[in-house]
Structure 1
Amino acid sequence: MTFYTEMQAMAHELIEEFGQAGAVKRLTPPDPVLGGEPVTSPYPATLVPMAYEARYIDGTTIETGDMQIYISSVGLAIEPTVGDVVTANGTDYAIVNGYPNKYDGITAVVFIVQGRIAS
Structure 2
Amino acid sequence: MTFYTEMQAMAHELIEEFGQAGVVTRITPPDPVLGGDPVPAPYPATLVPMAYEARYIDGTTIKTGDMQIYISSVGLAIEPTVGDVVTANGTEYAIVAGDPNKYDGVTVVVFIVQGRIA
User: What range is the shorter-chain TM-score in?
Assistant: over 0.9
User: In the alignment, which residue of structure 1 is the partner of 2:90?
Assistant: 90
Letter in 1 for 2:42: P
Identity percentage over the alignment?
A: 90
**1:62-101 residue pairs with structure 2 within 5 A?**
62-101=62-101
Query: Given the two structures, how large is their TM-score scaled by the length of structure 2?
Result: 0.99
Q: CA deviation at 1:37?
A: 1.2
User: In the alignment, which residue of structure 2 is the partner of 1:6?
Assistant: 6
User: In the alignment, which residue of structure 2 is the partner of 1:24?
Assistant: 24
Aligned pair count?
118
Following TM superposition, the consecutive aligned residue runs of length 4 or more in structure 1 with deviations greater than 6 angstroms are none
**1:30-49 residue pairs with structure 2 within 5 A?**
30-49=30-49
Tell me, which stretches of 5 or more residues in structure 2 are unaligned?
Answer: none
What RMSD, in angstroms, separates the aligned Cα atoms of the two structures? 0.5
2: distance between equivalents of 1:48 and 1:4?
20
Query: Given the two structures, how large is their TM-score scaled by the length of structure 1?
Result: 0.98
Per-residue Cα deviation, 1:13-46 (whole angstroms, up to 9, x for no partner): 0000000000000000111222211100000000
